[in-house]
Structures are given as C-alpha cells and as structure tokens.
Amino acid sequence: MKILVPVKRVIDYNVKPRVKSDGSGVDLANVKMSMNPFDEISVEEAIRLKEAGKAEEIIAVSVGPQKAQETLRTALAMGADRAILVVTDEEVEPLGVAKILAKIVAEEQPRLVITGKQAIDDDSNQTGQMLAALLGWGQGTFANTVELDSDSITVKREIDGGLQTVKLNLPAVVTTDLRLNEPRYASLPNIMKAKKKPMDEKTPADYGVDIIPRLTTTNVSEPPVRQAGEKVEDVDALVAKLKAVGAI
C-alpha cells in the first residue's frame, strides 16, 4: 500500500508572527520556517504504518515555494521514500491544494492520504476534507488513533466532549490531531541519506487545475491588545477583588 503525505512549509511553531505595518500580511522575511507540526505527525504516522508492515511506500508532497524542498527533505529524513514538490510562488488556497493533490492521487494511486488537520499559518482546517470530497473518499478527521487493515481504516477522532470512532473503506483521507503520536527527530545519518532520495519537481500547470484564489486578503492587523491588570498580594486580596468585580 502506498501512503501519500501532504506537508506544508510554515512559520516555525515557536516564532511569534509579526504583522507588517502596512497591513499587507505577516512578516516572513528572515523568519525560521519549519514543517507544519500537524504534518510532522502525519509523516510519523505513515512511517509507523510502514514499520508495522502495513504500507510499502510513503510519498511526501508539498505545494509551495522552491524552499519547500527543505520541508520535503525533512520528511525524507524522517523516513518518507520519495517526494513531489509542486513549485509555485503564488499562495495556493486549501481548495487549490486539494485539487492538485487529487490529481497526484490519480497518478500515484495511494490507498491512504494522511495530512495535518490544519496548517498553523492560515489555520483553515480544510484541505483534507476537501480532498476527500473531490475524490469521493471517506474522511477520518482529527485522528487520535488509527488502525489500518487491508481494506479499511478505523479512526478514533477527537471531537468536542470526547472521542468518536469511525470506520472508513479504503481508499480514505485521514487528518491528524496532536495526540496521534510524537514525531521522531531525523538522525544525522538519515538526514544524509535523505539527500539522495528522489524528489520530483512539478508546477501547478502540470496538473491543469484552476488554483486562482477565491479569497482576497484586504488587510491583516494585530489583534486587539489586552492590557495587564493588577497583581494582588495574597489570596484574601484575590477573593476580595473577585467579589468586587462580581466574578463570584
């Protein structure tokens, strides 16, 4: 079984984004970029399925700038077998990404796609569900645990208030939540080896899909700043204060 793992290059999880003063977006110049943390969990899960003998090949794919090849190299160093980079300097929305991925799925014929539930830059939480819709496949979103069989996958999902388990016929799309696993770090020898693994370069035009953005961002601003209040000396003062503002 082949597993396709779409990954996105995003601002590093630990960097606090700075909004540009002209309101045109977030300043990404000279900012550390990394693989979207939810996508790292996807890569890890695919590798574990391969290690368990349930998958033969893991293909990592990214739609983004030339530099997204670094993200794909990370996926290869973790354990993916080969990579496809769809190079574009334009911003591609989740709908456009899903359309490109649907074409790649048609070419590569994976039985399973595992991707992060959302990217931590635009926080859309859409691509996996859209891809499943375009392919007419089942979707197991916000996965907490997965169990892969030859013709189905059972996904325990994180839902409001608890967990829900669904069974999907293969092929299917799974999107990962935080508790699915803890991604490994790539070892130095594996980082070296990853440099020799195959990486195909494509462009959106190769897939002939419409990726013209439907949304225009007219402004990006700082969120309203919350002012710090006061510190109290002890618990008695805290209780008095809470009573004074009618909180208790």
Partner 1 sequence: MKTLVLVEHDNKTMKDATLAVVTAASQLGEVHALVIGSGCASVGEQVAKVAGVATVHVADDAALEHQLAENAAPLIASLMDSHDAFLAPATTTGKNIAPRVAALLDVMQISDILSVESEDTFTRPIYAGNAIATVKSSDAKKVITVRGTAFDKAETEGGSAKIEGVTGAGESGLSSFVSEEIAKSERPELTSAKIIVSGGRALGSAEKFEEFITPLADKLGAGIGASRAAVDAGYVPNDYQVGQTGKIVAPEVYIAIGISGAIQHLAGMKDSKIIVAINKDEDAPIFQVADIGLVADLFNAVPELTSKV
* Contact positions with partner 1 (CB under 8 A) in 208-227: 213-223, 226
One residue of 166, 191, 199, 206 binding partner 1 per CB under 8 A: 166
One residue of 158, 174, 183, 207 binding partner 1 per CB under 8 A: 158
Site for partner 1 contains 245 (CB under 8 A): yes
- Taking the least distance from each CB to partner 1, the nearer of 196 and 231 is 231
One residue of 35, 84, 177, 209 binding partner 1 per CB under 8 A: 177
Q: 163 is written with which tokens?
A: 């967990």
How far apart are the C-alpha atoms of 70 and 86, rounded to whole Å? Answer: 13
Site for partner 1 contains 126 (CB under 8 A): yes
- Taking the least distance from each CB to partner 1, the nearer of 22 and 236 is 236
- Taking the least distance from each CB to partner 1, the nearer of 188 and 247 is 247
Q: Are strands 112-116 and 2-6 parallel, antiparallel or unpaired?
A: parallel
Residues in contact with partner 1, shown as a per-residue x/- string from 75 to 114 under the rule CB under 8 A: ------------------xxx--x----------------
- Taking the least distance from each CB to partner 1, the nearer of 82 and 241 is 241
Contact region with partner 1 (CB under 8 A), list: 51-59, 103-111, 116-124, 198-206: 116-124
Q: Single out the residue of 103, 112, 150 nearest to residue 2, CA to CA.
A: 112
In angstroms, what is the minimal distance from the CB of 33 to partner 1? 13
How far apart are the C-alpha atoms of 143 and 218, rounded to whole Å? Answer: 34
- Taking the least distance from each CB to partner 1, the nearer of 77 and 142 is 142
Spell 94-128 as b/e; 16+ CB within 10 A means b. bbbbbbbbbbbbeebebbbbbbbbbbbbeeebbbb
Crossing angle of the two packed helices 127-135 and 94-108, in degrees rounded to 10? 50
Residues 6+ apart with CB under 8 A from 85: 61, 62, 64, 66, 68, 69, 72, 199, 200, 201, 202
How far apart are the C-alpha atoms of 44 and 183, rounded to whole Å? Answer: 5
One residue of 51, 106, 109, 163 binding partner 1 per CB under 8 A: 163
Residues in contact with partner 1, shown as a per-residue x/- string from 34 to 73 under the rule CB under 8 A: ----------------------------------------
Q: Decide: residue 21, CB within 10 A, 0-12 exposed, 13-18 middle, 19+ buried.
A: exposed
CA angle 49, 53, 56 (to 5 degrees): 80
In angstroms, what is the minimal distance from the CB of 41 to partner 1? 11
Site for partner 1 contains 207 (CB under 8 A): no
